[in-house]
Amino acid sequence: MNRLLRWVLRLDQAGSAAFIVVALAAVPALVLVGPTPVVLWVLGVGVILYAAALAALGVLMAWGLSRSAIRGQTVSSRLWKSILLFSDDGHVEWRRRT
């Protein structure tokens, strides 16, 4: 797996985690503070830009994974453990979002 793909995977995982943490912290804070419409607009634009950056990382990740697959390279199992569900008998399923 090439260096760019490793960098994108780490950045995507960290960025997604930070997005969730910020969202979980910001919503209660906004409810308590009661911000002005201008503050809400600026925060909304920030969220949209952050989401667009995460989407761009997703495109880079898909491109890098497809390049690795075309070249016959393997991808670390550490990556797949976060999105796959392993049962005791070794059967693998996609993790369902609930």
Query: pLDDT tens digit string along 80-92?
Result: 555 555 555 655 5
Q: Is 63's pLDDT higher than 80?
A: yes
DSSP, collapsed to helix, strand or coil, labels residue 76 as coil
Average pLDDT over residues 12-18: 86
Place of tokens 């002005």: 36
pLDDT digits (tens, 9 = 90+) for 21-41: 988 888 888 888 888 889 889
On whether the CB atoms of residues 12 and 57 are closer than 8 A, the answer is yes
Residue type present at position 79: L
Query: What's the distance, CA 53 to chain centroid?
Result: 10
Q: Rounded to whole angstroms, how far apart are CA atoms 86 and 93?
A: 7
Enter the pTM of the model. Answer: 0.66
Confidence of residue 51 (pLDDT cuts 50, 70, 90): very high
